[in-house]
């Protein structure tokens, strides 16, 4: 019965023009869903699925200890899949129509302090192998608030030197323009002029800016491992991922007085509600604001 998934994935790719990562997530969710229906519930066809079957699958995910956001994403995938089957006349009734979306408590994103970011960036030795590349990567991620995939896909043609901006291809291939600060610009130029040509000679057809020693485009995992390496070298005992730098970018801008709408634009959020989670401020900052501006604090 998995041929329905293939048809659905074709529709998502052609009609909705979803990004590769989104398509992979849909396909993975629906393949696991179908496997449960056929293996655990012994269903021969997805056309026999009822709301009870779907709820059994969601209980199965919860019993496995799946994170709330992962269950929520699975519900979304299943609902849109059954909406498609119903709209195409493949299923007469839509069993997911009354499916509730689980409530997920929003966690405040983890972020680094300004001092911790400075420590990580300063610990990368100037003369270490590929140090120019690593410094350019993390200066740019912090300066521009990039997602790791956006960094990996960043091309030389996306650098707009004259306007001191970069062009970013975000989720769903939506493009946005983000300023790049002078320190990040200088490190990027340093890498492009002195290190990248050596790696690019080994694989001259690669257009992406950041390359491995063999001239290949860097992967998300490689970026994660590089950041882990330099975070440990800096002696910072925190769980830090590339997305932590993006969280830090947004947090530090808002704490510095940036307006929410501008931060939303730079992050590439389609809904400002997504950006509002970054309006958390640490207690020390709140106390300082209160002390500075409250008229009865003399």
Residue 269 falls in the annotated catalytic set: yes
Residue 246 falls in the annotated catalytic set: yes
- CA 232 from chain centre, in angstroms, equals 22
Same domain, yes or no: 136 and 208: yes
Residue 256's pLDDT band (cuts 50, 70, 90):
confident
| Statement: residue 282 has pLDDT above 70 | no
Q: Which two tokens stand for residue 87?
A: 């709209």
Does some domain include residue 160? yes
Pick the closest to residue 213 from 193, 196, 238 (CA basis): 196
Of the candidates 34, 82, 147, 196, the residue annotated as catalytic is 147
- Parent domain of 191: 114-289
Of the candidates 34, 133, 196, 246, the residue annotated as catalytic is 246
Residue 243 falls in the annotated catalytic set: yes
pLDDT number for residue 288: 66
Domain count, the chain: 2
Q: Which two tokens stand for residue 14?
A: 């052609």
67/243 Cα distance (integer angstroms): 18
- Do 230 and 138 meet the contact criterion of CB atoms below 8 Å apart? yes
Does some domain include residue 201? yes
Residue 13's pLDDT band (cuts 50, 70, 90):
confident
Residue at which a domain ends, from 71, 87, 103: 87
What is this structure's pTM? 0.66
Question: What is the CATH number for 252?
Answer: 1.10.443.10
- Do 158 and 175 meet the contact criterion of CB atoms below 8 Å apart? no
Residue at which a domain ends, from 52, 71, 87: 87
pLDDT number for residue 286: 60
Does some domain include residue 151? yes
Of the candidates 13, 171, 220, 280, the residue annotated as catalytic is 171
Same domain, yes or no: 267 and 191: yes
Residue 104's pLDDT band (cuts 50, 70, 90):
low
Q: Which two tokens stand for residue 54?
A: 């779907």
Q: What mean pLDDT do residues 97-121 have?
A: 82
Same domain, yes or no: 159 and 56: no
Please give, one letter per residue, the 3-state secondary structure of 150-163.
HHHCCEHHHEECCC
| Statement: residue 113 has pLDDT above 60 | yes
| Statement: residue 255 has pLDDT above 80 | yes
Residue at which a domain ends, from 52, 72, 87: 87
| Statement: residue 254 has pLDDT above 70 | yes
| 63-78 pLDDT per residue, tens | 888 877 888 889 999 9
Question: What is the CATH number for 20?
Answer: 1.10.150
């Amino acid at each position: 019965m998995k041929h329905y998934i293939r048809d659905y994935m074709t529709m998502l790719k052609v009609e909705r023009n979803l990004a590769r990562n989104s398509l992979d997530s849909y396909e993975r969710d629906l393949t696991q869903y179908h496997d449960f229906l056929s293996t655990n519930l012994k269903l021969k066809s997805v056309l026999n699925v009822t709301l009870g079957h779907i709820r059994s699958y969601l209980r199965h995910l919860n019993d496995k200890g799946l994170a709330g956001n992962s269950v929520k994403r699975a519900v979304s995938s299943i609902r849109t899949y059954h909406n498609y089957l119903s709209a195409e006349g493949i299923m007469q009734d839509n069993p997911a129509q009354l499916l509730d979306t689980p409530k997920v408590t929003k966690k405040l994103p983890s972020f680094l302090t300004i001092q911790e970011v400075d420590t990580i960036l300063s610990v990368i030795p100037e003369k270490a192998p590929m140090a120019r590349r690593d410094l350019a990567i993390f200066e740019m991620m912090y300066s521009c608030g990039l997602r790791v995939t956006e960094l990996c896909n960043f091309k030389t043609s996306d650098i707009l030197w004259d306007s001191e901006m970069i062009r970013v291809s975000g989720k769903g291939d939506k493009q946005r323009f983000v300023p790049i600060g002078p320190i990040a610009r200088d490190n990027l130029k340093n890498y492009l002029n002195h290190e990248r040509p050596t790696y690019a000679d080994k694989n001259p057809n690669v257009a992406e800016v950041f390359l491995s020693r063999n001239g290949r485009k860097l992967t998300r995992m490689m970026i994660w491992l590089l950041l882990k390496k330099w975070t440990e070298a800096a002696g910072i005992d925190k769980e830090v991922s590339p997305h932590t730098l993006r969280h830090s970018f947004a947090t530090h801008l808002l704490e510095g007085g940036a307006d929410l709408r501008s931060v939303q634009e730079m992050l590439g959020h389609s809904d400002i509600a997504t950006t509002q989670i970054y309006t958390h401020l640490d207690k020390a900052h709140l106390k300082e604001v209160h002390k500075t501006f409250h008229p009865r604090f003399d």
